[in-house]
Amino acid sequence: MDFNLTYEQKMVKEMVRKFAEEEIVPVARENDVKEHFPLEIIKKMAPLGFLGALIPEKYGGAGLDFISDAIIFEEIGRADSSIRTTLSVQVHLVGLAILNWGSEEQKEKYLPRLCKGEILGCFALTEPGAGSDASNLSMTAAFTDKGWVLNGTKTWISNGGIADISIVFAQTDKSKKHEGIAAFIVEKGTHGFTTKEIKGKLGLRASNTAELIFEDCMIPKDALLGKVGDGFKVAMSALDNGRYGVASGCVGIIQGCIDACVKYAKERHQFGKPIGSFQLIQEKIARMVVDCDASRLLVYRAGGLKNKGIKNTFETSIAKYFASESAVRAATDAIQIFGAYGCSNEYPVERYLRDAKVATIYEGTSEIQKLIIGYHTLGIKAFG
């Protein structure tokens, strides 16, 4: 197994790091405080290929591999997880879902525009009563001569308030349970479709999060993504990619904690010497380094399988679980190293902690990741 990055991957890393340092880092604190969604930064990513990293060039994407994709999300996550969230939804949950499940007409209609940043997308699966139990959807889709009629509510949808297209999951036949779920592409401005922004979040404060409301929302027949009954498979395959993006971003958080703590531990003096000389400070930083390396390697393992087209739910869940929990641990230790300053937004470590905690919840909680890992290990399902 070759652990070295290719020349192209090194160039991607250098380009993304430069962009993040120049465009994202200087405004990350202000955007977090003001809960400002930085559309202007997202638009600047499009010419660099970030919005279509994994989409083939045929559809306007950059056609990169999954390791290059992980590098992008690590570097963006190191700068600001809010922007990483927006990007992950755009690429992993929306772009790849359309690429893998859409008709040729849907691919040609939406993918080039997603890659150019002309439109943004969201992935509407979670409901007030259906979070971890994604098969228990209350939202309905009724087929008529004129098309599909959607009724229901989605909540905690990243990009939901600013998205131009939404991939929406609804139940077509409750008697069929998860086999009755279908996925649809719903365009902004469709009659009967409204959104309500969610503010006051613990973390990811500069990302857009919203509630989506559908009241007798009529959409055309060709809005169906895949076939009726494919919806649950569409959602689960998309989450395998979404979790990969979250894990990659968490590697960035851990690396950001290391970078911040190394610098601070050399500059901060107590008892007549830099605090970096203290054994317990070194112990905390050493643990961050080990967790960062382990998380990155787990992400790359999953990415290697994705590059080969091999099923990777197990490996991706391991990477998402370990990296997100490690990011919380790293940020907690970073705040301890910074002391009182760590509790202030003068430094990024308190934002790292808030953002990392969210990463243990969305795209499947740490508890759900453990159950997925348990199922693949034991062959026994802990839930339906």
Known catalytic residues are 363
Give Cα 187 to chain centroid, integer Å: 21
Residue type, 249: G
Residue type, 329: R
What's 342's DSSP letter? G
Helix (H, G, I), strand (E, B) or coil at 100: helix
Q: How many helices (H) and strands (E) does the chain have?
A: 12, 10
Bridge-based pairing of strands 121-124 and 165-171 is: parallel
Distance CA 51, CA 57 (A): 12
Across the strands, what pairs with 187? 165
Q: Residue 246 has which token pair?
A: 């979250």
Across the strands, what pairs with 225? 183
**Matching residue, tokens 């940043």:** 117
CB-CB contact of 246 with 362 (8 Å) = yes
Q: Which of 320, 283, 290, 287 has its CA nearest to residue 303?
A: 320
Given CA atoms 249, 255, 261, 267 in this order, what sign does their dihedral have?
negative
Helix (H) / strand (E) element for 255: namely helix 231-267
Distance CA 332, CA 349 (A): 8
Residue 127 dihedral angles phi and psi, to the nearest 5°: -125, 165
Angle at 243 between CA 152 and CA 293, to 5 degrees: 160
Helix (H) / strand (E) element for 11: namely helix 7-19
Distances (CA, A) of 296 to 113, 231, 318: 31, 31, 12
**Matching residue, tokens 């439109």:** 119
Distance CA 61, CA 51 (A): 8
Helix (H) / strand (E) element for 41: namely helix 39-45
Across the strands, what pairs with 167? 123, 185
